[in-house]
Amino acid sequence: GQQVMQIPQYQHVQEGEDFTTYCNSSTTLSNIQWYKQRPGGHPVFLIQLVKSGEVKKQKRLTFQFGEAKKNSSLHITATQTTDVGTYFCAGGGSNYKLTFGKGTLLTVNP
Amino acid sequence: DTAVSQTPKYLVTQMGNDKSIKCEQNLGHDTMYWYKQDSKKFLKIMFSYNNKELIINETVPNRFSPKSPDKAHLNLHINSLELGDSAVYFCASSQKSVAGPLAKNIQYFGAGTRLSVL
């Protein structure tokens, strides 16, 4: 079955440093979604990428979808303490199922 | 009003008991899901219903039985609870915007039910 690997598992940064998390799928994806889960909270949708090579930005967050539609990344520029949480990628197939990566827990030292 | 609400928020119970978790969404979505998040934060899909019909049934023990009385509700019943069932269970809903690869299938999650089996 489809597997989505995400690295790193943990990342600790100083406030102001950049942060990147990477996802790789064992199969070609229809689309990829990114979610953020604050500590003690629930996953919240951030963005969906569907096109090969697509790049989307949300303020300090940059999302990329690879040319082969098998990998993706999320980059945060100049992290802030409000960025703390677990970031999940989720690969979408042709059905309703999303396969989530294991997430990257980001902690930010003020 | 909360879009996806699940009850209870916390559930502490003894091994061997039977318990239910309820989920309701007021977003008008056709599809609902149950996810299990273990202590390592791994989110694993368990079940999904589309218009009351089971469409995803991952490898879960048959002690877990979902029920969807209508498309706004998806409940999860667990028989003979085991220690390994301790986790946070999230309900989610989605609505496919259009057909095909450009479809947006954004999942809206409930706040979660933290189940502790003692």
Average pLDDT in the B61-83 region?
95
Answer whether A96 sits within 8 Å of B48, measured CB to CB. Answer: yes
Q: Which of residues 3-62 of A touch B (CB under 8 A)?
A: 30-31, 33, 35, 37, 41-45, 48, 50
Q: Which pLDDT score is estimated for B51?
A: 85
What is the percentage of chain B residues whose pLDDT exceeds 90? 72
One-letter-per-residue 3-state SS of chain A = CCCEEEECCEEEEECCCCEEEEEEECCCCCEEEEEEECCCCCCEEEEEECCCCCEEEECCEEEEECCCCCEEEEEECCCCHHHCEEEEEEEECCCCCEEECCCEEEEEEC
Amino acid B102: pLDDT: 56
pLDDT of amino acid A93: 72
**Series of mean pLDDT values for 10-residue runs along chain A (110 residues):** 90 98 94 95 95 96 96 98 97 80 96
* B93 to chain A: closest CA residue: A96
> CA-CA distance, A72 to A54, in Å (whole number)?
9
pLDDT of residue B101: 56
How many angstroms away from the CA of B76 is the closest CA of chain A?
18
Q: Is the pLDDT of residue B100 over 70?
A: no
- pLDDT number for residue B80: 97
Position with higher pLDDT, B1 vs B114: B114
CB contact under 8 A, B48 and A48: no
User: Which of B105, B106, B109, B113 should we substitute to test contact with A (largest number of A Cβ atoms within 10 Å)?
Assistant: B105
**pLDDT 10s digits, B37-57:** 998 889 999 999 988 888 888
Residue of A nearest to B40 (CA): A102
What's chain B's average pLDDT?
A: 91
Residues on chain B bordering chain A, Cβ-to-Cβ distance under 8 angstroms: 31, 40-45, 48, 50, 55-56, 90, 94, 96, 101-112
Q: Is a pLDDT exceeding 60 seen at residue B66?
A: yes
What is the per-residue pLDDT for B103? 62
Supply angle C-alpha B22, B24, B30, rounded to 5. Answer: 125
User: In angstroms, rounded to a whole number, what is the distance separating the alpha carbons of residues B116 and B9?
Assistant: 11
